[in-house]
A = this chain, B = another copy of it.
């Protein structure tokens, strides 16, 4: 399974970066191949100052070795080895009219002291972070997520959408990071699902990603914007940084386990502002976004 999934994400990385380069039309991804001293490594592909994407990364990694202390504590085991691989993607468009998007799909195996696999699971998801709210984009993103989920289980979409809203919650601001998507973890062989069923589901989600995001880029890329729109985007990007550095388990896990710092923090936006006590004017488009993020509602997606 680990080889099967790693081949899948290698192939997915290629498909994604070539499509995103086509969409961008100006810049190419730059590739860095890195090794982890304790075992494994990855391929980081980053685009900077593109026509559409001000900063974006599509990274894969496959790491293995002794379970780091933070995981031994988390799983309550005294020793053991692990294997983990995954693809992580963050795209920060230049235009504040185009939403930021994040996705991550991963696979994990854990072994006992004798090298016998004791557990394996998939995790991941994708979520959209708009700076200006266009209902049709939100509906489109969720509809693609739902259709991919529905091909596997009619409960998945509503379960993983709820998990996504709960996970990408900036608790210290009492607001959502964005308008959600999917979030799932510890998808194991259980309750009538084989590990191959889990693989089929996660790869279906991965395959659906470009269909969920690219049409939004194509629809919004021609919209004009002013410096005021851009300032708002940079202020909201500050909330993105706050989430990733304060709350995101993946980021904090990477920092605690001696991950490659540049690949982990690739997710941070290129230009960011923090303004003291910044609040948009009542009735503005900016206030409309805040209202939705502070009152997440199942109803935002009518699909």
Complex Cα gap A266–B274 (Å): 8
CB contact between A48 and one of B173, B245, B275 (< 8 Å): that residue? B275
Max chain B C-beta neighbours (<10 A), residue from A172, A173, A234, A265: A172
The oligomer's copy count stands at 2
Task: Assess whether A273 is in contact with B273, with CB atoms less than 8 Å apart.
Answer: no
A276 at the interface (CB under 8 A from B): yes
CB-CB < 8 A to A268: which residues of B?
238, 274
CB-CB < 8 A to A275: which residues of B?
48, 270
Which A residues between 141 and 177 are near B, CB-CB below 8 angstroms? Answer: 172-173
Complex Cα gap A238–B238 (Å): 11
Q: Which residue of B lies closest to A241 (CB)?
A: B241
Complex Cα gap A261–B173 (Å): 7
A122 → chain B closest CB, angstroms: 27
CB-CB < 8 A to A234: which residues of B?
271
CB contact between A273 and one of B255, B265, B270, B276 (< 8 Å): that residue? B270
Task: Assess whether B272 is in contact with A271, with CB atoms less than 8 Å apart.
Answer: yes
CB-CB < 8 A to A57: which residues of B?
276
Task: Assess whether B246 is in contact with A241, with CB atoms less than 8 Å apart.
Answer: no
A32 at the interface (CB under 8 A from B): yes
A55 at the interface (CB under 8 A from B): yes
A140 → chain B closest CB, angstroms: 29
If A270-B275, A274-B272 touch, whether A245 touches B241 (CB-CB below 8 Å) is: yes
A-B contact pairs, 30 of them (CB 8 A): A32-B277, A46-B276, A46-B277, A48-B275, A55-B276, A57-B276, A172-B255, A172-B261, A173-B261, A234-B271, A238-B268, A238-B272, A241-B241, A241-B272, A241-B274, A242-B245, A245-B245, A246-B246, A246-B255, A262-B276, A262-B277, A268-B274, A269-B274, A270-B273, A270-B274, A271-B271, A271-B272, A271-B273, A272-B272, A272-B273
| Closest 6 pairs (CB-CB, A-B) | A245-B245, A268-B274, A172-B255, A272-B272, A46-B276, A262-B277
